[in-house]
Amino acid sequence: MSSSPSSAPTIQVCHDCGGGAPVDAHFCPQCTKILSIGRHGDYFSFMGLPRRLALDPAELEQRFRTLSRQFHPDYFYNATPAERRASLERSSYLNDAYRTLKQPIARVEYLLQLEGFAPAESGNKVPPALLEEVFALNEELDEIRDLRASGAPADEWKGRLENARGPIERKRDAHEAGLQELSARWDALLEARAGIVERRPVLDALRERVLERNYINNLLAGIERELTQ
């Protein structure tokens, strides 16, 4: 499902001089010209980072600012059209990389995508781990809607909605803790250079957590909509 690191391209070709450069290089080591972006690489390697899930926000910010200065189109105003295009491409890609990697959950989702474990759309299917909470919430919501339709005071049915939100929020907090624990396990396996056999269970668990987290957020958004009616 996931390709091994050894099978990924490690060299990119400079279209200016024809020389080779490491896949994570931004400038050609032979002619020093800015390199165009190929189809290989990823946000982590682009910013010179391992595929860790625990990233130092200050280091990430520093790398972003350093690369932003290097790629800024103003420095390539008098350069060739190819170099100007490369600076724009790298600046745009850098912004996407930074925006993704600075958000912990977006970072997890991106890692899963890279490793070939991207969560599939589950539609309206309830994740098995949430069946009990969803059943109880739906029963409560039906009663609250009936209460509202009967003309009950807003304070009464809104209070019940607030109470109904409690178990779902606690479930979300538990999932956040679970994601952090799994992220730490992934980082430890990465540090130990573990193979796909050891990494697969953690990736599977991360994928399930992300699916459940997304469903929980949809439940909370539904409660919020009910409160504003």
Is residue 94 very low, low, confident or very high in pLDDT (cuts 50, 70, 90)?
Answer: very high
In 124-153, alpha helices (H): 131-149
Instruction: Indicate the length of the chain as a whole number.
Output: 229
What pLDDT is stored for residue 1 in this prediction? 40
Dihedral pair phi/psi, residue 13, rounded to 5°: -105, 135
Mean local confidence (pLDDT), 46-71: 95
Q: What is the pLDDT of residues 3-51, one digit of tens each?
A: 444 345 578 888 888 888 888 889 989 989 999 887 667 999 999 999 9
Strand partners, 22: 11
- From residue 178, alpha-carbon distances to 114, 116, 174, 182 in Å are 21, 21, 6, 6
What pLDDT is stored for residue 2 in this prediction? 40
pTM: 0.83
Asked if 7 and 23 count as a contact pair (C-beta separation under 8 A), the reply is: no
Contacts of 206 (CB under 8 A, 6+ apart): 108, 111, 112, 117, 179, 182, 183, 186
What whole-number distance in Å separates Cα of residue 79 and Cα of residue 42? 26
Q: Hey, is 78 helix, strand or coil? A: coil
What whole-number distance in Å separates Cα of residue 140 and Cα of residue 94? 46
Q: Hey, is 103 helix, strand or coil? A: coil
What pLDDT is stored for residue 149 in this prediction? 86
Residue listed under structure tokens 């970072």: 107
Mean local confidence (pLDDT), 172-199: 94
Residue 112 has pLDDT above 50, yes or no: yes
Is residue 195 very low, low, confident or very high in pLDDT (cuts 50, 70, 90)?
Answer: very high
What whole-number distance in Å separates Cα of residue 108 and Cα of residue 206? 8
What pLDDT is stored for residue 122 in this prediction? 60
Dihedral pair phi/psi, residue 12, rounded to 5°: -120, 155
Asked if 215 and 122 count as a contact pair (C-beta separation under 8 A), the reply is: yes
Burial letters 169-196, b for 16+ CB under 10 A, else e: eebbeebeebbeebbebbbebbeeeeee
Q: Comparing C-alpha atoms, which of 174, 172, 178 is closest to residue 213?
A: 172
Q: What is the token pair recorded at 226? A: 């009910």
What whole-number distance in Å separates Cα of residue 213 and Cα of residue 219? 10
Residue 206 has pLDDT above 90, yes or no: yes
Q: Output 110 or 152, whichever has higher pLDDT.
A: 110
What pLDDT is stored for residue 227 in this prediction? 80
